[in-house]
């Protein structure tokens, strides 16, 4: 049915479609629930309450617990063991009484009988590297995991506890009352793993050339689980992929290491005079005022000399960190140490890099620059970075984040040479891991349950930062038009979204339960947010809403719904269709041109009008006298037809004749949507004189027909080409139907096959 005539009839008759003579009724189909892509997310969302509001903001009764730690840690470098004693103050800000506490023992995933080691299938691999073969068939499993020596109250009384895999329940003598506190202590030790062997999140790397180790230590102490209004106790086991849910608190940490080690950690160093030489201490103070270039507290020459000998003395580095959710540190006698000051929101923040000589010349050129740019860009789009420093530590095959400190890969070969791939990989991972200071170290989402809430948001901001990095440091990208980001551009997610549905999961899935965690939790949500910013909302609305979310939930625990609701609340853009499609399904984008028809204005009805009226039991004679203009298919028109005059109508309505003209070309274009995702319809029209017109039809064009949409185009020139999504803004997986006249689009596989013949 021609939609043009349909509108005429409906507007004239304003009656049901059954008006007129009786017609045979088709067999009725069964009813159905609302499956419209634009329905609201009421079924998916929790009911707003006094803890979390419908606007996406914290409610009047929002609460979160506080956990403070005082720790004494000692590293046994010779035997690769870590010893710790900690005193914990738990403050119960919830309205509930707590008869027990749940503590995370993440190191237990390294126990040689850990169930996490058997969580995946393990068939026989026909091809292995030497290292894989040794690790799989020849080597004894690593004997890791916490050895808990005791759990006591402050008076020295034993507290009963039960360990279940990576969780420990401590039973209390009396429940902690609402607004009450409880203090206790734990003593423990464990064997430190070689993180290079299985790409673990923490551990050491051994350097046989100089018989030294570089330690990156995290998840190293028993940490309290989150207790909140959403989960109660978030005590989901740590299986390896789902990261961490942690409480904010204040830390006092004393770390004892060999006296020739250089150490960085979460928090501010309290005793630099005691652990640094006089030369190092002067440089350390100078760095606090160096805003133009880094200051080397330890340079490469000094690091080389330092790693050539071993001290039998010890030093204790003392750190204080307030309002952080975790603590980590890195230490080695191999480290080069550089710092540069940057002003963020009126405060001085130290951008710090820590790396062995094996990282140069790459690290001394780019690491601190990447830290600086990340702090500036993220602060501009969220909130001013509130911590005193941000540290980038080099570690082989690493990419892991903690408050104020992170581990990052990117190593030249033995000759100091590196490829562009290595360079951009290193810069990108530093931006990504430093960016995690914002998500989730401050906007503290539950990573154990929703991996995308930190990884996806951070990867999106990583993309924004990378593009700014390329502009601030143009020499870093050379002749490229922009920084070669690996994730964020819509076209880059197409291979994943067009893949086998058996191996896809919605973004709203637990990280342990997806096949392809990288695209699922990093790439797809980052791309979705980039599309939301550039194509759906526009930068101004998006940036305001995104910043509102970040500032509402800094130093708090948001849920996915808090994010979704805030983005709508702060922008007045209904996005339920977007969240449902991109985050709750594995649907993909596929929109194309199905058909193009040309029409003419005529005084004689065409076959299309006759058929339309026939459907209503009517003929041309049944039309009122003023219905005397017909839009007919081009093949039905004749060149000598007289176009009916509309002069009387123009005069009656006081229209300016000079602004009116008879349309030369009338097109009816049918756009199809084989894909499941609704998206704005972005179209480029090319006319016979070579000019182009770009039109974006709002996503709501699909609200009543999820498969097919007609659009009328009136032009003084003939259209010679129509292209859907001409600039690849929507992650459309099938370009073969995006053009009219249809163009042959070869896939990457087809081009590869042609090239190999």
Provide, rounded to the nearest whole percent, the portion of the chain with pLDDT above 90: 80
Q: Would the pLDDT of 606 be above 70?
A: yes
Residue 113 pLDDT = 83
Residue 26: pLDDT band (50, 70, 90) is: low
Which of 323, 332, 340 shows the shortest CA–CA distance to 357? 332
Return the higher-pLDDT residue of 143 and 474.
474
**DSSP code of 535?**
I
Q: Would the pLDDT of 517 be above 80?
A: yes
Which of 599, 663, 661, 607 shows the shortest CA–CA distance to 631? 599
Q: Would the pLDDT of 745 be above 90?
A: no
Q: Would the pLDDT of 523 be above 90?
A: yes
Sign of torsion, CA 514 519 523 525? negative
Residue 123 pLDDT = 79
Residue 21 pLDDT = 40
Mean pLDDT of 319-325: 98
Task: Tell me the two tokens of residue 188.
Answer: 């423990």
The model's pLDDT over 83-122, given as tens digits with 9 standing for 90+, comes to: 999 999 999 999 999 999 999 999 999 998 887 777 777 7
Distance, CA of 189 to CA of 220 (rounded, Å): 9
Residue 639: pLDDT band (50, 70, 90) is: low
The model's pLDDT over 347-370, given as tens digits with 9 standing for 90+, comes to: 999 999 999 999 999 999 999 999
The mean-pLDDT minimum among 340-344, 354-358, 650-654 falls in 650-654
Q: What is the largest CA-CA distance in the chain?
A: 108
- Whether the CB-CB separation of 104 and 224 falls below 8 Å is answered with yes
- Whether the CB-CB separation of 190 and 144 falls below 8 Å is answered with yes
Residue 228 pLDDT = 98
Give the Å distances, CA to CA, from 298 to 106, 382, 390.
Answer: 33, 33, 18
Q: What is the mean pLDDT of the chain?
A: 92
Mean pLDDT of 663-680: 94
Secondary element (H or E) of residue 9: helix 3-13
- Whether the CB-CB separation of 337 and 363 falls below 8 Å is answered with no
Q: DSSP string spanning 466-511?
A: HHHHHHHSGGGTTT-SS---SSSSGGGGHHHHTS-GGG---SSS-G
Burial class of residue 172, CB neighbours in 10 A (0-12, 13-18, 19+): middle
> How do strand 389-394 and strand 347-355 relate by DSSP bridges?
parallel
Distant-in-sequence, close-in-space partners of 358: CB < 8 Å, separation ≥ 6: 207, 394, 411, 412
H helices present in 308-415, as ranges: 362-381
Residue 645 pLDDT = 63
Residue 754: pLDDT band (50, 70, 90) is: low
Q: Would the pLDDT of 277 be above 70?
A: yes
Q: DSSP string spanning 105-117?
A: -GGGGGSTT-GGG
Return the higher-pLDDT residue of 22 and 422.
422
Give the Å distances, CA to CA, from 631 to 298, 311, 358, 635.
Answer: 81, 93, 75, 12
The model's pLDDT over 131-164, given as tens digits with 9 standing for 90+, comes to: 778 877 887 888 899 999 999 999 999 999 999 9
Q: Would the pLDDT of 627 be above 90?
A: no
Residue 643 pLDDT = 59
3-state secondary structure of 255: strand
Residue 141 pLDDT = 83
Burial class of residue 525, CB neighbours in 10 A (0-12, 13-18, 19+): buried
Residue 631 pLDDT = 86
Q: Give 480's Cβ-side CA count (13 Å radius).
A: 16
The model's pLDDT over 377-412, given as tens digits with 9 standing for 90+, comes to: 999 999 999 999 999 999 999 999 999 999 999 999
Distant-in-sequence, close-in-space partners of 349: CB < 8 Å, separation ≥ 6: 341, 342, 343, 375, 385, 387, 388, 389, 390
Which of 107, 316, 116, 103 shows the shortest CA–CA distance to 191? 107
Q: What are phi and psi of 84, to 5 degrees?
A: -150, 150
The model's pLDDT over 381-390, given as tens digits with 9 standing for 90+, comes to: 999 999 999 9
Provide, rounded to the nearest whole percent, the portion of the chain with pLDDT above 70: 93
Residue 12 pLDDT = 46
Distance, CA of 214 to CA of 216 (rounded, Å): 7
Mean pLDDT of 730-749: 81
Q: Has this prediction a pTM greater than 0.75?
A: yes
Residue 15 pLDDT = 36
Distance, CA of 732 to CA of 148 (rounded, Å): 54
Q: Which residue has 């997610």 as its token pair?
A: 493
Residue 11 pLDDT = 45
Q: Would the pLDDT of 438 be above 50?
A: yes
Q: Would the pLDDT of 37 be above 90?
A: yes
């Amino acid at each position: 049915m021609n939609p043009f005539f349909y509108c005429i009839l409906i507007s004239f008759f304003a009656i049901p479609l059954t008006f007129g003579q009786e017609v045979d009724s088709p067999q009725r189909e069964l009813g159905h629930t609302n499956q419209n892509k634009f329905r609201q997310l009421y079924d998916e969302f929790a009911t707003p309450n006094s803890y979390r509001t419908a606007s996406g903001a914290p409610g009047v009764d929002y609460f979160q617990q506080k956990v403070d730690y005082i720790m004494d840690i000692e590293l046994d470098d010779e035997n690769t063991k870590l010893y710790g004693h900690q005193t914990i103050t738990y403050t119960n800000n919830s309205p509930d009484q707590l008869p027990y506490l749940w503590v995370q023992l993440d190191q237990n995933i390294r126990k040689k009988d850990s169930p996490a080691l058997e969580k995946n299938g393990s068939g026989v691999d026909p091809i292995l590297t030497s290292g894989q073969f040794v690790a799989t068939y020849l080597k004894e499993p690593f004997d890791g995991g916490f050895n808990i020596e005791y759990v006591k109250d402050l008076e020295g009384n034993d507290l009963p506890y039960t360990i279940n895999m990576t969780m420990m329940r401590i039973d209390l003598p009396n429940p902690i009352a609402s607004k009450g506190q409880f203090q206790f202590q734990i003593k423990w030790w464990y064997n430190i793993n070689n993180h290079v062997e299985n790409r673990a999140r923490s551990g050491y790397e051994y350097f046989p050339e100089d018989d030294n180790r570089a330690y990156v230590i995290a998840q190293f102490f028993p940490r309290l689980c989150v207790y909140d209004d959403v989960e109660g106790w978030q005590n989901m086991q740590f299986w390896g992929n789902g990261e961490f849910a942690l409480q904010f608190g204040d830390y006092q940490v004393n770390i004892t290491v060999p006296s020739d080690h250089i150490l960085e950690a979460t928090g501010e160093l309290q005793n630099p005079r005691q652990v640094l030489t006089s030369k190092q201490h002067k440089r350390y103070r100078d760095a606090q005022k160096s805003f133009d270039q880094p200051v080397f507290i330890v340079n490469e020459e000094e690091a080389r000399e330092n790693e050539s000998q071993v001290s039998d003395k010890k030093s204790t580095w003392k750190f204080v960190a307030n309002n952080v959710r975790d603590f980590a540190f890195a230490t080695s006698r191999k480290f080069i140490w550089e710092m540069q000051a940057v002003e963020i929101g009126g405060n001085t923040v130290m951008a710090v890099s820590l790396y062995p000589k094996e990282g140069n010349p790459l690290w001394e050129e780019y690491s601190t620059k990447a830290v600086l740019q990340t702090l500036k860009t993220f602060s501009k789009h969220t909130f001013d970075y509130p911590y005193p420093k941000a540290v980038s530590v080099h570690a082989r095959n690493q990419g892991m984040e903690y408050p104020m400190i992170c581990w990052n890969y990117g190593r030249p070969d033995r000759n100091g040479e590196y490829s562009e791939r290595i360079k951009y990989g290193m810069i990108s991972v530093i931006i990504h891991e430093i960016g995690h200071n914002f998500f989730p170290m401050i906007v503290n989402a539950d990573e154990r349950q929703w991996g995308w809430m930190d990884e996806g948001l951070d990867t999106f901001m990583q993309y924004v930062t990378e593009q700014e990095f390329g502009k601030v440091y143009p020499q870093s990208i050379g002749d490229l038009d922009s920084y070669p980001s690996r994730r964020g551009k819509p076209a880059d997610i197409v291979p994943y979204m067009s893949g086998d549905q058996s191996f896809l999961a919605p973004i709203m899935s637990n990280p342990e339960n997806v096949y392809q965690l990288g695209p699922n939790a990093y790439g797809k949500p980052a791309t979705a947010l980039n599309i939301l910013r550039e194509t759906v909302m526009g930068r101004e609305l998006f940036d305001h809403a995104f910043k509102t979310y970040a500032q509402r939930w800094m130093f708090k625990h948001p849920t996915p719904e808090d994010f979704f609701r805030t983005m709508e609340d702060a922008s007045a853009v209904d996005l339920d269709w977007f969240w449902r499609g991109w985050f709750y399904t594995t649907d993909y984008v596929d929109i194309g041109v199905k058909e193009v028809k040309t029409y003419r204005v005529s005084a004689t009805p065409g076959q299309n009008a006759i058929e339309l009226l026939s459907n209503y039991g009517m003929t041309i004679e049944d039309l009122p006298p003023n219905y005397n203009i017909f839009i007919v298919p081009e093949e039905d028109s004749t060149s000598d037809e007289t176009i009916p005059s509309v002069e009387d109508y123009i005069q009656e309505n006081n229209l300016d004749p000079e602004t009116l003209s008879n349309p030369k070309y009338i097109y009816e274009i049918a756009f199809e949507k084989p894909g499941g995702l609704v998206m704005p319809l972005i179209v480029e029209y090319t006319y016979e004189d070579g000019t182009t017109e770009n039109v974006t039809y709002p996503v709501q064009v699909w609200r009543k027909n999820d498969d097919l949409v007609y659009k009328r185009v009136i032009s003084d020139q003939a259209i010679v080409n129509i292209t859907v999504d001409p600039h690849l803004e929507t992650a459309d997986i099938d370009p073969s139907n995006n053009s009219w006249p249809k163009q042959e689009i070869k896939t990457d596989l087809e081009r590869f096959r042609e090239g190999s013949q």
